[in-house]
């Protein structure tokens, strides 16, 4: 009988969804998750012996020293210590930023701000990715960092000073403003500051966060649009890479990036920031009729301008053509249907305005890098893992 593999979780930080992904893989492959695992209290199990380690080593130096001393196959879910000789399986932060930028661009925003508050490597990658994604559409992005603010000081006055500083930065920015916050907590902070400063959300300021923090409101009066980072798949894929290593397979040292699944659209971006009446009419028409067999001429007639005029207006105000916007709208709807419904792929194709399954397959693979069936498998895995809850460490 094949010996059961013993795996240690050495997680200086974790999200319950990450643990759920690890648990799903462990159950499928009959792993033993060691009782010495570190998931709640940082009690180092010096002397542990097993087959492999799943770690998050961005924090404690002692935990890092311990994992290195084991000389076991190891996957690190962080890149803070990228020089360590481990396999790094991490979020694709640049793709998270691109999703956020595209969401704003499709709504016609031209004024962008990225907000972070520390030198965290994840924040830097998200900020760099957002600035680059916005620049591809011909726009600039202001990046504000609280930690680099000259009057920054620790102590009782920091919170008040920080709020006043953020309110001033947002108040001075040209409106309508698209704000991408480096994580969920910072997105909540932007919303609270806007409320206190009587800045209307989303009419004056639209907000996107990263749904990696339980503080991100999902059922409040004005919930915040967020990128779903797919922590379940991150945990599952990290475990899968560790399994390969424990089986003797050599892994390329290049960090393995796990992409986010989607944008979760909520009220904080429920607006079209376009002051061109023809483009605004066209956007509304496309949003209401993309599932039908519409063409550019029909959209132009609805907008009350020529086909050429519509093309030029879209390029000027959105940085993309009417055809590109229709395709993007259809693909985003297809991703939601594939991830959240049981409709057959053929049905999804027609519900998204494609006249043949083949044209849908081609368009979806070009846009998402994988066929619809594979996308659905990954989305289904995420749904199952969310229902499983937190891992019980054996």
Whether the per-residue pLDDT at 218 is higher than 90: the answer is no
**Which CATH number does the domain housing residue 80 bear?**
3.40.50.2300
Q: Is residue 86 part of a domain?
A: yes
Count of beta carbons in the 10 Å neighbourhood of residue 153? 11
The Cα-based distances of 186 to 123, 152, 192, 226 in angstroms read 11, 17, 10, 12
Q: What is the pLDDT of residues 325-338, one digit of tens each?
A: 899 889 988 988 88
pLDDT at 392 (0 to 100): 34
Which helix (H) or strand (E) element contains residue 370?
Answer: none
| Distance from C-alpha of 48 to C-alpha of 30, rounded to nearest angstrom | 20
Torsion of CA 162, 167, 169, 173, to 10 degrees: 170
**Residues 129 and 170 reside in one and the same domain:** yes
Q: Based on the domain organization, do 203 and 323 belong to the same domain?
A: no
Same domain (yes/no): 255, 184: no
Query: pLDDT tens across 354-388, in order?
Result: 989 999 999 999 988 889 988 888 776 655 444 44
Boundary-marking domain end, from 241, 269, 297: 269
Mean pLDDT (whole number) for 109-119:
92
Return the HEC string of 110-163. CEEEEEECCCCHHHHHHHHHHHHHHHCCCCCEEEEEHHHCCCCCCCCCHHHHHH
pLDDT at 151 over 60: no
CB contact at 8 A, 110 and 139: yes
Q: In the structure, what pLDDT confidence band is assigned to residue 60 with cuts at 50, 70 and 90?
A: confident
Look at the chain and count its residues.
394
Same domain, 304 and 244: no
pLDDT (mean) for 21-40: 92
243 domain-assigned: yes
Query: Which stretch of 152-156, 291-295, 359-363 has the lowest confidence by average pLDDT?
Result: 152-156
Least confidently predicted of 130-144, 167-181, 205-219, 322-336: 205-219
Tell me the pLDDT band of 148, cut-offs 50, 70 and 90: low
Task: For residues 113 and 140, state if they share a domain.
Answer: yes
**pLDDT on residue 335:** 87
**Does residue 391 fall inside a structural domain?**
no
What does the mean pLDDT of the chain come to?
87
Give residue 76's pLDDT.
Answer: 96
Instruction: Identify the pLDDT of residue 385.
Output: 47
Whole-number percent of the chain with pLDDT over 70: 91
Question: Across 41-55, 131-145, 358-372, which has the greatest mean pLDDT?
Answer: 131-145
Is residue 282 within 8 A of residue 314, CB to CB? The reply is yes
For residues 225 and 125, membership in a common domain is answered with yes
215 and 121 belong to one structural domain: yes
For the cut 50, the answer to whether the pLDDT of residue 240 exceeds it is yes
What domain range includes position 331?
277-383
Q: Poorest-confidence range of 87-101, 210-224, 299-313, 321-335?
A: 210-224
Mean pLDDT of 259-275: 82
Q: At residue 125, does pLDDT exceed 90?
A: yes
Do residues 225 and 238 both lie within one domain? no
Q: What is the pLDDT of residue 393?
A: 32
| Whether 214 and 199 share a structural domain | yes
Q: Name the more confident of 90 and 287.
A: 90
The answer to whether residue 388 sits within a structural domain is no
**How many domains does the chain fold into?**
3
Share of the chain above pLDDT 90, in %: 57
Residue 151 domain flag:
yes
Residue 69 falls inside a structural domain: yes
Q: Would you say residue 219 has pLDDT above 50? A: no
Q: Decide which of 219 and 329 is more confident.
A: 329
What the block records as the tokens of 81 is 């210590």
User: Is residue 20 in some structural domain?
Assistant: yes
In a domain, 208, yes or no: yes
Tell me which of 147 and 50 has the higher pLDDT.
Answer: 50
Compute CA 166 distance to the chain's CA centroid, rounded to the nearest angstrom. Answer: 23
Per-residue confidence (pLDDT) for residue 230, from 0 to 100:
87
Terminal CA-CA length for the chain:
21
Residue with tokens 């694709």: 92
Q: Are 108 and 174 found together in one domain? A: yes
CATH number reported for the structural domain that contains residue 358 in this entry: 1.10.10.60
Q: What are phi and psi of 367, to 5 degrees?
A: -80, -35
Does one domain contain both 203 and 100?
yes
Bridge partners for 89 per DSSP: 256
109 with 219, same domain?
A: yes
Give me the pLDDT at residue 349, please: 93
- pLDDT of residue 211 exceeding 90, the answer is no
Residue ranges of E strands in 158-283: 177-181, 205-210, 225-228, 256-258, 262-264
């Amino acid at each position: 009988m094949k010996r059961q593999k013993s795996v240690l979780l050495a997680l200086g930080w974790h999200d319950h969804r990450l643990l759920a992904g690890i648990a799903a893989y462990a159950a499928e492959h009959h792993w033993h998750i060691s009782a010495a695992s570190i998931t709640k209290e940082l009690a180092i199990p010096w002397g542990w012996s097993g087959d492999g380690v799943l770690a998050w080593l961005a924090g404690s130096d002692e935990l890092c020293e311990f994992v290195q001393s084991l000389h076991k196959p190891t996957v690190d879910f962080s890149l803070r210590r990228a020089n360590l000789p481990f396999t790094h399986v991490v979020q694709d932060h640049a793709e998270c930023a691109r999703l956020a930028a595209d969401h704003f661009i499709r709504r016609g925003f031209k004024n962008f701000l990225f907000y972070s508050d520390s030198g965290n490597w994840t924040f830097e990658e998200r900020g760099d990715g957002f600035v680059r994604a916005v620049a591809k559409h011909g726009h600039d992005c202001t990046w504000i960092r609280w930690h680099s603010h000259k009057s920054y000081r620790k102590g009782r006055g920091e919170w008040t000073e920080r709020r006043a500083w953020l309110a001033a930065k947002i108040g001075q920015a040209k409106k309508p403003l698209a704000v991408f916050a480096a994580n969920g907590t910072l997105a909540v902070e932007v919303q609270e500051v806007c409320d206190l400063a009587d800045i209307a959300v989303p009419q004056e300021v639209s907000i996107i966060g990263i749904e990696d923090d339980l503080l991100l409101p999902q059922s409040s009066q004005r919930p915040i649009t967020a990128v779903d980072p797919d922590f379940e798949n991150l945990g599952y894929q990290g475990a899968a890479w560790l399994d390969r290593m424990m089986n003797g397979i050599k892994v390329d040292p290049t960090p393995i990036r796990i992409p986010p699944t989607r944008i979760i659209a909520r009220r904080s971006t429920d607006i079209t920031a376009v002051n061109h009446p023809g483009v605004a009419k066209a956007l509304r028409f496309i949003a209401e009729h993309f599932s039908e067999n519409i063409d550019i001429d029909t959209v132009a007639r609805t907008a009350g301008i020529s086909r050429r005029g519509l093309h030029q207006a879209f390029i000027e105000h959105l940085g993309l053509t009417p055809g590109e916007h229709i395709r993007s709208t259809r693909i985003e709807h297809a991703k939601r249907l594939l991830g959240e419904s049981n409709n057959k792929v053929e049905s999804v194709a027609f519900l998204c305005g494609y006249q043949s399954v083949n044209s849908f397959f081609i368009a979806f693979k070009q846009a998402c890098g994988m066929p619809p069936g594979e996308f659905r498998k990954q989305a289904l895995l995420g749904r199952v893992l969310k229902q499983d809850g937190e891992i019980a460490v054996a």
